[in-house]
Amino acid sequence: SGLVLVKNPHLDLMEEDVLYHLDLGTKTHNLPAMFGDIKFVCVGGSPNRMRAFAQFMQRELGLAGAGEEVADICGGSDRYAMYRAGPVLSISHGMGIPSISIMLHELIKLLHHAKCRDVTIIRIGTSGGLGIEAGSVVITDTAVDSSFQPRFEQVVLDDVVVRSTELDKDLAEELLACSRDIPDFPTLIGHTMCTYDFYEGQGRLDGALCSFSSEKKLEYLRRAYDAGVRNIEMESTAFAALCGLCGLKGES
């Protein structure tokens, strides 16, 4: 049916679903009227970047008010920022798996309550490149963990639940085809490695702690490259797992 799925039977027993970190709710807001026609959701770490992206989309789509300030729909919360440009929703998710996971749980419920159909979600963000030209755009085919495996491990109570991190390969190819019309930067498809940390987790030598040598770092990064990794960031495995489980066509 193209509807966004939620896989939580407890939601049906609740009189009201409060999307706390988005400052929205099923009783306080008419979510179908506000969001029912959303077709694209673009998410990224920084609130300022996502505001600028929404303004860019207003101009590109020729919408009324293009060039003017856009309103933060989540203005009552200081956790995330959300902006709308026609059928495009632009949302910040902060840094790291815990932050994007909270936002995605509430975003997915929002799209479900709003009865949105055939939604495409794309994560736009900076990352560290691996063996590629600086300024390249990497379109993720599969998000992998620090062992180069396509999995997201989530501790649920005292169980470790492993979820798939495959992304929509047709969407990846479609985005790559679109990139051929924009010759300003090289674009490629590759694996994205997701880590739990910016410093030691990504092999950086300039953190407050460093427990490895520069030689060990380079050997690890060579193995990552040989496994197909072309960039490194901190959100993609959680993003891929949640989108896949809830029927969202996603790409990072």
Residue 110 token pair: 């929002």
Q: Using an 8 Å Cβ cutoff, are 106 and 28 in contact? A: no
180 token code pair: 């051929």
Other C-beta atoms closer than 10 Å to the C-beta of 106 total 22
Q: Would you list the DSSP string of 118-135?
A: S-EEEE----EESSS-TT
3-class DSSP assignment, residue 98: helix
Cα–Cα nearest to 107, from 19, 239, 181, 203: 19
Residue given tokens 């490194």 in the structure block: 232
pLDDT at 182: 86
Average pLDDT (230-250) is 95
Q: How confident is the model at residue 247 (pLDDT cuts 50, 70, 90)?
A: confident
| Average pLDDT of every residue of the chain | 95
Task: Convert the pLDDT of each residue in 204-225 to its tens digit.
Answer: 999 999 999 999 999 999 999 9
Q: 90: which strand partners?
A: 42, 83
Question: Which residues fall in the annotated binding site?
Answer: 79, 123-126, 202, 204
Amino acid occupying residue 123: R
DSSP state for residue 4 in the 8-state scheme: P
Q: Is the pLDDT of residue 141 over 90?
A: yes
Average pLDDT, integer, range 19-28: 97
62-66, 83-87, 147-151, 226-230: least confidently modelled range: 62-66
pLDDT level of residue 2 (50, 70, 90 thresholds): confident
pLDDT digits (tens, 9 = 90+) for 29-81: 999 999 999 999 999 999 999 999 999 999 999 998 887 889 999 999 999 99
Q: How far apart are CA 102 and CA 252, in angstroms?
A: 17
Residue 1 scores a pLDDT above 80: no
Residue 96 near residue 237, CB atoms below 8 Å: no
- Using DSSP's 3-state secondary structure scheme, residue 136 falls into coil
Annotated binding site for phosphate: 79, 123-126
DSSP-derived secondary structure letter, 201: G
Residue 156 has a pLDDT of 96
Write out the binding residues for substrate.
202, 204
Domains and CATH numbers, the chain: 1-124 (3.40.50.1580), 126-251 (3.40.50.1580)
Asked which of 64-73, 90-99, 143-152, 187-196 is least confident by mean pLDDT, the reply is 64-73
**More confident position, 66 or 113:** 113
In percent, the amount of the chain with pLDDT more than 70 equals 100
The model's confidence at residue 185, banded by pLDDT at 50, 70 and 90, is: confident
